[in-house]
């Protein structure tokens, strides 16, 4: 497998007030393989979106590296950054607020083409127009939609416009930041299927961010589970669902309803009590200790190491050996 992006000890901290620091992403490391979908899961506030945005250079890193094709993107000069933004795009969570309401669909999709001067010759206007028509067709819309405005579309259609915008300059890496959570359940599968189809046709690599493990299962090759700024478990999708080892992952998986009512009734549900602690001054030791039913004394004092338990299965828990 070929590595497309290597995330090494990545940290993203935000200053809060004069003295406090919010550790949104705290020492996260993993690889993203070419052509795969890597799922990143965790409750809101766990740092997954900040992690995705730092990986694609929308935020500067506080420390650590994001290596893309052998280069750290956080050391790029302006020209190199511009080139990288052609390769890395994002699909946002909320299709209602992420599209400029004053711009036509054609201009929303064509914005990246204009910024990066993709077409240069005498025919550039025509080529731009044809590309927009082609993209609309690719995402299941049509060329009559070019001159319309975002408010004229449903949530699912708006997300299709967001996908067309992300595809406009032929990226090879797309951060999908909870692209279906704002959509009606009946529409979610359609958008996921479109993303899978596009990946197959274009060889795209996805970092797919989500807050629950149910949809991630269907789309991801590998999954990282985040808690309070750090990874607690990371492995292949099959292994994670068959053999979850971290108590937090086990609790998240136990919360997914199973279709068989009898199985659902007898299923052991592992509760996670209490709120996620603040990422400002997080507790010492294991960050999950305040909510973990298996916590022992050591957990509150010493941070568990994130280590490889078996091939490609990493876990951070004192009880997993």
Binding mask 222-261 for ligand SF4 (x = CB under 6 A): -------------------------x--------------
The answer for residues whose C-beta is within 8 angstroms of residue 249's C-beta and 6 or more apart is 213, 225, 232, 233, 240
CB of 317 to ligand SF4, least distance (A): 3
> Nearer Cβ to ligand SF4, position 168 or 272?
272
Nearer to ligand SF4, 155 or 283 (CB): 283
In the bound state with ligand SF4, the residue whose beta carbon lies nearer, of 58 and 303, is: 303
Cβ proximity to ligand SF4: between 228 and 286 the closer is: 286
Longest Cα–Cα distance of the chain, Å, equals: 72
By CB under 6 A, name the one of 86, 116, 202, 318 that touches ligand SF4: 318
Residues 299, 306, 313, 314: which binds ligand SF4 (CB under 6 A)? Answer: 299
319 touches ligand SF4 by CB under 6 A: yes
Q: How far is the CB of 289 from ligand SF4 (least distance, A)?
A: 4
d(CA 127, CA 225): 43
Residue pair 207/7 in contact (Cβ under 8 Å)? The answer is no
For the segment 157-216, give every residue that binds ligand SF4 (CB under 6 A): none
Total interface residues for ligand SF4 by CB under 6 A: 12
Residue of 7, 167, 175, 286 that binds ligand SF4 (CB under 6 A) = 286
Nearest CB to ligand SF4, comparing residues 125 and 268:
268
Question: Closest separation between CB of residue 307 and ligand SF4, Å?
Answer: 12
What is the SS3 assignment for 280? strand
Q: Which is nearer to ligand SF4, 144 or 275 (CB)?
A: 275
Give the separation between CA 97 and CA 102, rounded to whole angstroms.
12
Written as one string, the DSSP assignment of 248-266 is HHHHHHHTSPPS-HHHHHH
Options 215, 304, 306, 313; binder of ligand SF4; rule CB under 6 A: 304
- Which residues, in sequence order, are CB contacts of 279 under 8 Å at separation 6+? 22, 23, 24, 45, 47, 228, 229
**Which span sits near ligand SF4 by CB under 6 A: 124-132, 162-170, 264-272, 284-292?**
284-292
- Can you state the angle between helices 155-167 and 185-202, rounded to 10 degrees? 20
Comparing CB distances to ligand SF4, the nearer of 42 and 171 is 42
β 230-236/222-227 pair status: antiparallel
| Residue 234 to residues 75, 213, 307, Cα–Cα distance (Å) | 27, 13, 10
- Nearest 5 degrees, angle CA 288-CA 289-CA 291? 75
Question: Which of 128, 289, 306, 314 is close enough to bind ligand SF4 by CB under 6 A?
Answer: 289
Are 81 and 57 a contacting pair, CB within 8 Å? yes
Contact positions vs ligand SF4 (CB under 6 A): 247, 286, 288-289, 292, 294-295, 299, 304, 317-319
């Amino acid at each position: 497998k070929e590595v497309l992006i290597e995330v090494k000890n990545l940290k993203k901290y935000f200053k809060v007030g004069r003295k406090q620091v919010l550790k949104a992403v705290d020492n996260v490391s993993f690889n993203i393989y070419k052509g795969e979908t890597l799922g990143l899961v965790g409750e809101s506030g766990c740092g997954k979106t900040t992690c995705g945005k730092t990986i694609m250079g929308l935020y500067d890193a506080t420390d650590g590296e994001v290596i893309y094709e052998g280069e750290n993107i956080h050391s790029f000069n302006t020209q190199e950054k511009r080139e990288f933004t052609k390769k890395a795009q994002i699909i946002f969570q909320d299709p209602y607020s992420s599209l400029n309401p004053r711009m036509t669909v054609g201009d929303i999709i064509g914005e990246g083409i204009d910024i990066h001067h993709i077409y240069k010759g005498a025919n550039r206007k025509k080529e731009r127009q044809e590309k927009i028509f082609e993209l609309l067709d690719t995402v299941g819309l049509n060329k009559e939609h070019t001159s319309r405005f975002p408010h004229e579309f449903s949530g699912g259609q708006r997300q299709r416009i967001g996908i067309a915008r992300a595809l406009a300059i032929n990226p090879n890496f797309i951060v999908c930041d909870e692209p279906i959570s704002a959509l009606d359940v009946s529409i979610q599968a359609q958008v996921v299927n479109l993303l899978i189809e596009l990946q197959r046709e274009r060889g795209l690599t996805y970092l797919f961010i989500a807050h629950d493990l149910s949809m991630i299962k269907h789309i991801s090759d590998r999954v990282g589970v985040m808690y309070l700024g750090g990874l607690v478990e990371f492995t292949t999708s099959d292994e994670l669902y068959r053999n979850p080892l971290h108590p937090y992952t086990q609790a998240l998986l136990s919360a997914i309803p199973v279709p068989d009512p009898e199985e659902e009734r007898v299923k052991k549900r592992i509760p996670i009590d209490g709120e996620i602690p603040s990422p400002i001054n997080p507790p010492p030791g294991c960050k999950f200790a305040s909510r973990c039913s298996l916590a022992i004394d050591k957990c509150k004092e010493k941070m568990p190491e994130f280590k490889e338990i078996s091939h490609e299965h990493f876990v951070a828990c004192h009880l997993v050996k």
